[in-house]
Amino acid sequence: MSESNPRPLFIYGTLRALPLLARALTGDASNISAVSKLVQPATIYGYARFSVQHCDYPAVIKHEPQSSVDGYLLILETASQRNKLDDFEGEAYKREPVAVTVFDADGKNEKPKEIVEADVYLWAGDADALTASPWELEYFERERLRDWLDLFEGMELIG
C-alpha cells in the first residue's frame, strides 16, 4: 500500500471502544461518526486474546489454529492515522501481517464477506505479564473508558 493509503489494521482491544478510537485518530472522542465508517466486524484465526496483569488493555499472541479473536478491520485513510496508532500502541506491541476474515456490517458474523490482508499489533512484551483472565470490551467501556478519555484529554498523538 502507498504511504497515503496504509494497510488496513485489525483492532481487538481498547481501540474497539469507538470514542477512544475517535480520540486517537481525530483528537475528539465525540467524533464517532468519523471512525465508525472505517470499521467492520472481523475475526482473526490462530490467535488468542489475553488480559495483561494490572492493565486495562489486552494482548494478542499467536496460538492454536482453532483459536480466534474478534474485533474490527479498520480501514485507515492516511499514513498519519497509522502513525498515531503506532504511537498509541507503544513498544509493547509489534505490527505483523495477518489474514482478517471480514463479516457483514450488521455484526451477526454468520457468513464471512471476505478475507483481507491487514496488520495487527501483537504482544511483544513479557509473556509472564499475560493472564488467563478474559478481556471484555463491555467491561472496559463501562468501567475504564472514561478514565482513558480523561487521560488523553489535551494530548495529541503524533501523526
- Is residue 109 over pLDDT 80? no
Summarised one tens digit per residue, pLDDT across range 58-71 is: 999 999 999 999 99
Q: Which grid coordinates are listed for 106?
A: 450488521
Q: What is d(CA 55, CA 48) in angstroms, rounded to the nearest whole number?
A: 17
Cβ burial of 157 (10 Å; 0-12, 13-18, 19+) is middle
Provide the pairing of β-strand 9-11 with 58-62.
unpaired
Domain ranges of the chain: 9-138
* CATH number of the structural domain 9-138: 3.10.490.10
Q: What is d(CA 40, CA 52) in angstroms, rounded to the nearest whole number?
A: 25
Higher pLDDT, 154 or 42: 42
> Residue 126 — left, alpha, or beta (φ > 0 → left; ψ -120 to 50 → alpha)?
beta
Would you state the pLDDT for residue 22? 96
User: The whole model's pTM is what?
Assistant: 0.90
